[in-house]
Amino acid sequence: MQQLVFEAAWNKTIADIDRRKIEQAFHLGKISDTFIHFQMLWSAINHRGELLITVLIHNPTDKAVQIRDEKIVYVEKEETVAENIFTFPTLEIGAYCSLPWTFIFPTHKKIGEQSDTIGRTEYVAGELLLMGQLNKR
């Protein structure tokens, strides 16, 4: 059975309201039974103009996985908005686990009307796509 887990730093710092939103999304979301995938939670633009995409990473497989040299693409309305190669050497997503994570894209195209506004958007119309080896497992 799929289990929601929080990485140690998230567990210490996450606001109660965000924890509840993540728990609710986990319980309402559709989890594939065959491949690693992302469930969108929210997006934000930070003070440096970087795009932050927060997702639940679902690992429904029987093996723990790590994100190493994985190309991840953020798409909105069939257009690539941002892409980057990510490696998180200490992050492990356990078997049958879902974990919240924020991907930071240093460069990106404008996103809708809020692309120049620092802050968070609760509704995310796009999707995050895993283009590397993890999606082939």
pLDDT digits (tens, 9 = 90+) for 2-50: 999 999 999 999 999 999 999 999 999 888 878 899 999 998 888 888 8
* Alpha-carbon span 31 to 83, nearest angstrom: 24
What is the Cα Rg of the chain in Å?
14
* Alpha-carbon span 5 to 17, nearest angstrom: 16
pLDDT of 77 reads 82
pLDDT band at 118 (very low <50, low <70, confident <90, very high): very low
98-117 pLDDT, tens digit per residue, is 999 999 998 776 554 444 44
Of 59, 40, 6, nearest to 111 by C-alpha is 40
Query: What residues form DSSP beta bridges with 43?
Result: 53, 121
Given a contact cutoff of 8 angstroms between Cβ atoms, the answer to whether 108 and 14 are in contact is: no
From residue 110, give the alpha-carbon distance in Å to each of 48, 79, 80: 14, 11, 10
pTM above 0.75, yes or no: yes
